[in-house]
Chain A
Amino acid sequence: MGKSENIIELKHITRTYEDGFSAVSDFNLEVKRGEFVTFLGPSGCGKTTTLRMIAGFDLPTSGEILLNGEPITNLPPNKRPINTVFQRYALFPHMNIYENIAFGLKQKKTPKDVIEKKVKKVLALVDLEGFENRSVATLSGGQQQRIAIARALVNEPEILLLDEPLGALDLKMRKEMQIELKAMHDELGITFIYVTHDQEEALTMSDKIVVMSEGKMQQIGTPEDIYNEPKNAFVADFIGESNIFNGIMTGKLKARFCGGEFACVDDVEQGTHITAVVRPEDVELTAPGEGIISGVVDSVIFKGMHYEITVVSGKNEMVIQSVRSATPGERVGMRVDPENIHIMIAEDHTNIFAADINPDFHLEYNGHILDTSVTKIIKGSRRTEDGTLLDAHGEVIDPKKTKIMVSIQPSDIRMTDNMEEGIVQGYISNLIYKGDHYSYVIHTDLEQDFIVNDEYLWNMDDQVGLLMPVDKMKFALKR
C-alpha cells in the first residue's frame, strides 16, 4: 500500500469534557512528511490538547487521526511511532543518561551493541558526547532539554512532538536551541510538530503555522502568510506587533482609517467596513506636512534593536518601530507603503440575543422588562379584548412558545461600573485596541458573549453591567 504524502491527518477532531467545555472544536489538519508545523496560540487555546491527542495521551470525543492513511485514533501511545519531548523534560530521575536514552530502544528489544551505537550517535547530535554515565540531577536545564530531545530522537520516530520545550530556558539558551532544533530538523528530515505560545519562536522555526484560539483553528499558513496577511483580528493581534484600525473603503484601492486616506493593494468594494493592519516597522516617519497623516509624538522607548515610538493622531494612536529616535512632543508625519497595509473585511459584530414574552405580554430579558410594546415588535399583531395576542394572520401567539431575537450594535451598548443598572452583568473577557476605540468581549452571567465598543480603557476581568437603550434595538420574531 503506497504511503500517502500526508504523514498525518486530523479530521474533525473535537475534544469536549464532561462539563461541556470544548477544548478543541472541529480541528482539521494535513501535515506533509518532513514538515515543521507549529501550533501557536495563547494558553488554553487547545494546542497542547491537540498535541496530546496525536501522541495518544488523550482521546478525541469525535473525529479521526490518520497516520500514513491508517487510522490510529484508538491506538495506545506506546504503540505509535511518535515520540514526545515533554515541557519539563520528564527525564527518569533514577536512571542515568544512558539508561534514559536507551529506554525506548530497550522496549523494542534492540540488541545491546546496537543500543550503544545509537546512544552514542544521538548524544553527538545534541552535542553532549560522553555524558552516558551522568545522572539527571547533575545536568543544567539546557542539557536536560537536549537529553530529552535525544531520548525521543534515538527511536527514529516518524513524527517528533515538542510541547513548549524551550519554555523553561533563559532567553539566550532559547534562541540557541531554536536554531539547533531547526538544524536538527533539516538534517534528519523527521516531521516535527511543535507547540508554543511564543509567536516569534513559531515564525523563526516553522514551515507551517497553525494559529489557534479557544479550541478553534484561526489560520494556517507559512510564517510570511500569517505575518503579512492575517485572516482576522485575532491573528493580526497575536502575531507580531500590529496597529489595528477600523476603517472603510473610500474608492478602488483606497481606504480611510486612522484619520487619513491610504492607497492599498487589496481590492475591496467601496463602502465596505474594514479592519486595517499596519506593522509598526512599516510606518515611516516624515516631516510634519509630508506624510499621509500627521500627529504628535507621545512616547519614545529604547528597545535595544529599535525605538518604539507612539504617535497620537487625533483620536488614534500609532505605534512605530524605527532605528532613529524622535522627541516627545515633536510634530511628525507618517506614511505607509500600500503593500504594507493589510485590509480585512470587518467582522459583523452585531450582538444578538433572545428575549422572552412574559405573561403580561411585556418583553423580558434577564428579569428586566424591555420598555417597548410587543405589538410594535411583531408587525401586524394586535391585542384582543380578553388579552390574547394575535399575529397579522389572526393566529394566536403563545408567549411561552415565542422568542424575540434582539440585535444591537457594539457601539450602542454602554458599560457601567454600577452592575445593577445594567440589563445584564458580566466580566470583560477580551479586548482589542482598534486605533480610536477598544473592542471588548463581555462574557455575561447568562453565558453569552457581547461585543461592546468603548473609547475608554477598561481592564480585563472588570465586572460590568451592560446598558442597552431600547430605541437602539432591532427585533425579529422567532417561533
Chain B
Amino acid sequence: MKKYIKSAFLILVLLFLYLPIFILAVYSFTDATNIGAIRGFSLHNYVTLFTTPELLGMIGGTLLLAVGAAILATLLGTLGAIGAFYSKKGMSQAISTMNQVPVVNADVVTGFSLCILLVVVFGVSKDTFVPLVVGHVVLCAPFVYLSVMPKIRQMDPSIYEAALDLGATPFVALTQVVIPQILPGIISGFALAITLSLDDYFVATYTKPATFDTISTYVVNATKGAQTTIKTALWALSTVIFLIVLILVAVMNLKANKKVSERADV
C-alpha cells in the first residue's frame, strides 16, 4: 500500500511538471490558436518556426551567445581555479569569495549592476554586445570555477612534479598532465555554463542591445500579446527544445550505462 502512495506521489509531481509541456507539444502539432478546441493536425507551427527569419535569428543568436560566453567562462574559470589552488591562502580565499558573489546574487542585481558599471560609468554602448557577453561570462564563470575546483583537489599533486621531472616545461605539464586529469570538471562546467546562458533572462534584459533578443527575452515579450502565429510557433519551439533535452538525457544515460558495464568487464 505504502509503495503505491509513494509511486502515486512521484507520478503526480511529474505530471505537474510535464503536463503543461505535453499539452503544448500536442497543440503545437495542430492548427489551434488557443488551448481548447482542436481543429486538425498541422505542422504549420514548425514551418513558421523554421522559416521566420526573426525567429531563426533569435534562436541562432541565443545559441551563439551561449557557446561564446561558455567558452570564455570555461577558460577564465578553469585557469582561475588552477591559479587559486596553487596560490597562497590569502589570494586563494579572495578569489573564492569574489567567485561566490555571482553565485549567490540575484540575477537582477547582477544584470543591473553590470549595466550601471559598463553603460553609465564607462559609457560602453549596449549595441556593441560587450555588456551582454560580459554579463553572461560573469554569470557562468563562477560555476565553471566551482566545477573544476573539486577535481583539482582530488588530483594527485605529485604528477605535475613528475612531469617536470621528466623534462616537460610547465606549460606542457599543465596541458598534457593536469588538464586531462581535471577534464571532467571542465566539461561539466562548460555544459553548466551553456545551460545558464540559455536560461538567463535578467542579465540579458539589462545588458542586451535593443534590437537583439534571446529566447528568454523574446518569449517573455511575446507573452504580452504577440501575433498568434508567433505565439503558436513558440509552442513548436518549446516542443523542439523538450525533445532535444530528452534525447540528450537518453544519450548520456546510455553512455553512463555503457561505462559501468565496461568497468565490470575488466
Question: Are A and B close enough to touch in the complex, i.e. CB under 8 Å?
Answer: yes
Once the chains bind, are B172 and A90 in contact (CB under 8 Å)? no
Interface status of A77 (Cβ within 8 A of chain B): yes
- How many Å from the CB of B171 to the closest CB on chain A? 10
Interface status of A92 (Cβ within 8 A of chain B): yes
Q: Whose C-beta in chain A lies nearest to the C-beta of B165? A: A84
Once the chains bind, are B266 and A138 in contact (CB under 8 Å)? yes
**Contact residues of B: prevailing secondary structure:** helix
Interface status of A111 (Cβ within 8 A of chain B): no
Once the chains bind, are A151 and B166 in contact (CB under 8 Å)? yes
Residue among A56, A107, A152 making CB contact with B168, cutoff 8 Å: A107
Once the chains bind, are B167 and A155 in contact (CB under 8 Å)? yes
Q: Which residues on the B side are within 8 Å of A86 (C-beta)?
A: 158, 161-162
Q: Whose C-beta in chain A lies nearest to the C-beta of B160? A: A90
A90-B162 contact given A107-B172, A138-B266, CB 8 Å threshold: yes
Q: Which residues on the A side are within 8 Å of B167 (C-beta)?
A: 78-79, 104, 107-108, 155
Which of A79, A82, A104 has the largest count of B CB atoms less than 10 A from its CB?
A: A104
Q: Whose C-beta in chain A lies nearest to the C-beta of B156? A: A90
Q: Which residues on the A side are within 8 Å of B217 (C-beta)?
A: none
Q: How far is the CA of A84 from the CA of B180 in the complex (A)?
A: 22
Q: How far is the CA of A21 from the CA of B254 in the complex (A)?
A: 55
A103-B180 contact given A57-B161, A88-B156, A90-B158, CB 8 Å threshold: no
Q: How far is the CA of A57 from the CA of B162 in the complex (A)?
A: 10
Cβ contacts A119-148/B at 8 Å (1 or 0 each): 000000000000000000010000000000
Which of A78, A93, A138, A152 has the largest count of B CB atoms less than 10 A from its CB?
A: A78
Interface size bucket, B side? 20 to 34
Interface size bucket, A side? 20 to 34
Once the chains bind, are B159 and A103 in contact (CB under 8 Å)? no
Once the chains bind, are B164 and A76 in contact (CB under 8 Å)? yes
Q: Which residues on the A side are within 8 Å of B266 (C-beta)?
A: 138
Q: Whose C-beta in chain A lies nearest to the C-beta of B177? A: A92
- How many Å from the CB of A288 to the closest CB on chain B? 58
Q: How far is the CA of A86 from the CA of B162 in the complex (A)?
A: 7
Residue among B159, B169, B170, B172 making CB contact with A92, cutoff 8 Å: B159
Q: How far is the CA of A156 from the CA of B173 in the complex (A)?
A: 20
Interface status of A117 (Cβ within 8 A of chain B): no
Which of B166, B168, B169, B266 has the largest count of A CB atoms less than 10 A from its CB?
A: B166
Interface status of B48 (Cβ within 8 A of chain A): no
A77-B177 contact given A88-B156, A107-B172, A138-B266, CB 8 Å threshold: no
Interface status of B76 (Cβ within 8 A of chain A): no
Once the chains bind, are B180 and A77 in contact (CB under 8 Å)? no
- How many Å from the CB of B110 to the closest CB on chain A? 36
Which residues of B line the A interface, CB within 8 A?
A: 156, 158-159, 161-170, 172-173, 176-177, 180-181, 266
Question: 9 closest pairs, A vs B, by CB?
Answer: A104-B166, A90-B162, A107-B167, A90-B158, A94-B180, A77-B164, A84-B165, A78-B164, A90-B159
